[in-house]
Amino acid sequence: MPGVIHIIDSLLVPPFTLTPEKILIGLNATRFVSLLRESGLAGYVNGSVAHEGEAYTILAPVDEPSALAQGGVLLPPSRKEALRNTLAYHVLPGRIRPANLRDGGLLPSELRTPLLKNGRQVVPVEVRRSVLGQLAAGAISLGGVDDDGGDWAEVRFAGVQVVGEPVEVGRSIIYRVRSFLDPPPDFVETAVASLDLTTFLAAAFAARLDDRLRAAGAITLLAPDNRAWTRLGLGRDYLLLPEARTKLRAILRHHVVDEVVYLEDLRAGGPSKRKSYLTLGGGSLAFEAGGNGTIKVGESSSGRQNGELQRARVLRGDAITANGYVRTRALGRPADPLTDTAERGPCSALHVVDQVIIPSSVNVTVGNLLRGAKASVMADLLERAGLDWVLDGRQPTEEDIAELGIVSPPFWPFICASN
């Protein structure tokens, strides 16, 4: 049967929709695609009606041999809810191009949990720019040239390196990463990794607040470092005793603000900007931005302890927990610029401070300090001698002074013998 052959200059392709899912399969992220389907999250990449017209940034772990040779692909947990949470942490709303990435930035993800009051968990971004003539291994193009001519950078999401250039498909963009991103741990697990928060953790356990902190969401936690607790002297020793649990719990609850306080928001108002927030203990704390970028926090009222105005200074900020946002990065670094493709949701923040802020409602007396000094015998002797006003921290009456036969000094030095 006769026929005709025509030679054409391009391949005829039947109509079809090129989706992120198909591109991911072509990019050797088949395991990631399989898990998305298994978890019911394939709609983010297959163009389903539920996500039609939406733009996403996909962080896709690759399963190619080169990735396996450099540490392997860490598979997410097998439990269904944990698997969904892990995978949702790899999807960011909006198309975030390399030029929009900033070192130290925090990008909201599709991971939402009750701990965050349905707010978005954030993914930290690292951008290590290459200097002229020194191209870092694995660097990608940022789409521009800076003052040093370095338009290339090594990019990491939650500590995991990007592999190769991103691929745009439709309204979305895909970054290949070397392994699965681990969603952050909770407050307590994060603090455990910080060697200078051990006393704070001991206090939280002693006050039986550790479970409360694990379950807390959309709060700000002020964690005094070890030096701050050391400055309390005998006060620290007393507060960690079982008998002081009520007072310790009140002090720690005074360090928990019932909403999220971002340091960048305070600095944005300029020097001397001051704002007060309610604490879980029923009091209030005022945050104040200084002219040199410092942040100080103290009681909104008098905030005086033993006649001195208490103002704790925020030492570090910016790490992430399952509860949300925990600040442990050294201050003085750039603010957290987010791309305008995404909106920051309610997370949780932890600021490391240099003082323990004792609320005015908590009275730590000399008698309490003697308990902390293991000087209960001396405390009993003082009480038997009618010097209970020393233990209570009260001013002596005229009768007390006359009985002692001395002139009332402005303060009372106290020398104590331990048991």
267-312 pLDDT tens trace: 665 555 778 888 888 888 888 887 777 888 888 765 444 444 468 8
Answer yes or no: are the C-beta atoms of 310 and 301 closer than 8 Å: no
Amino acid identity of residue 96, one-letter, is I
The total domain count for the chain is: 3
Domain-embedded: residue 146? no
pLDDT of res. 161: 92
Tokens of 221: 């936690």
Buried-exposed string 82-99: b where 16+ CB fall within 10 A, e elsewhere: ebbbbbbbbbbbbbbebe
Question: Is 419 within a domain?
Answer: no
Q: Could you tell me if 226 and 109 lie in one domain?
A: no
State whether 320 and 394 are in the same domain. Answer: no
By three-state DSSP, how is residue 229 classified? Answer: helix
Domain contains 170? yes
pTM: 0.60
334 in the same domain as 306: yes
Question: Which structural domain range is residue 38 located in?
Answer: 20-128+161-177
The DSSP bridge pattern shows strands 152-157 and 140-141 to be: antiparallel
pLDDT of residue 137: 64
Q: How many CB atoms lie within 10 A of CB 291?
A: 8
Measure the CA–CA gap between 24 and 34, rounded to whole angstroms. 11
Task: Assess whether 334 and 398 both reside in one domain.
Answer: no
* pLDDT of 367: 85
- The residue count of the chain comes to 419
Q: Is the dihedral of CA 59, 64, 68, 74 positive or negative?
A: positive
| Distance, CA of 300 to CA of 304 (rounded, Å) | 10
Instruction: Flag whether 9 is in a domain.
Output: no
Q: For 37-94, how does the pLDDT look when each residue is reduced to its tens digit (9 = 90+)?
A: 989 999 999 877 567 778 999 999 998 554 444 444 455 555 788 889 899 999 999 9
Give the residue from 147, 177, 207 where a domain finishes: 177
- Selection from 347, 314, 338 nearest residue 328 by Cα: 314
Which residue among 177, 211, 237 closes a domain?
A: 177
User: Are both 169 and 239 inside the same structural domain?
Assistant: no
Look at strands 120-129 and 106-112 and give their pairing: antiparallel
User: Is 382 within 8 Å of 388 (Cβ atoms)?
Assistant: yes
Residue 314 near residue 294, CB atoms below 8 Å:
yes
Q: CA-to-CA distance for 75 and 62, rounded, in angstroms?
A: 11
pLDDT (tens, 9 = 90+) of the chain, 419 residues, equals 788 898 988 887 676 678 899 999 989 999 999 999 989 999 999 877 567 778 999 999 998 554 444 444 455 555 788 889 899 999 999 999 999 998 877 788 998 877 666 778 888 888 888 765 555 666 888 875 444 445 788 899 988 999 889 999 988 999 999 999 988 766 565 565 567 888 888 888 888 876 666 666 667 888 899 999 999 999 999 998 889 999 999 999 998 888 777 776 676 655 557 788 888 888 888 888 877 778 888 887 654 444 444 688 888 754 445 554 443 333 333 333 222 223 333 446 778 889 999 998 898 888 888 888 888 888 888 888 777 777 877 777 777 777 766 666 656 677 777 78
Q: What are the DSSP calls for 375-399, one per residue? A: -HHHHHHHHHTT-HHHHHTPPPPHH
Residue 66's region, left for phi above 0, alpha for psi from -120 to 50, else beta, is alpha
* Cα–Cα distance, 344 to 178 (Å, whole number): 26
Is residue 10 a part of any domain in this protein?
no
331 and 371 co-located in one domain: no
Asked if residue 302 belongs to a domain, the reply is yes
Same domain, 201 and 171: no
DSSP 116: G
- Domain of residue 215, CATH code: 2.30.180.10
- Domain boundary among the residues 145, 177, 209 is at 177
Kindly state the helix (H) or strand (E) to which residue 126 belongs, with its residue range: strand 120-129
Contact 286, 268 (CB under 8 A): no
Cα separations in angstroms, 342 against 31, 94, 102, 404, 419: 27, 6, 14, 71, 62
Amino acid 177: pLDDT: 94
Strand-pairing partners, residue 126, are 156
pLDDT at 92 (0 to 100) = 95
What is the predicted pLDDT for the residue at 61? 94
196 and 297 part of one domain: yes
> In terms of domains, do 78 and 220 share one?
no
Same domain as 118, residue 43: yes
Question: Is 155 among the domain residues?
Answer: no
| 301 and 321 co-located in one domain | yes
Residues 398, 276 share a domain? no
Residue 143 lies in a domain: no
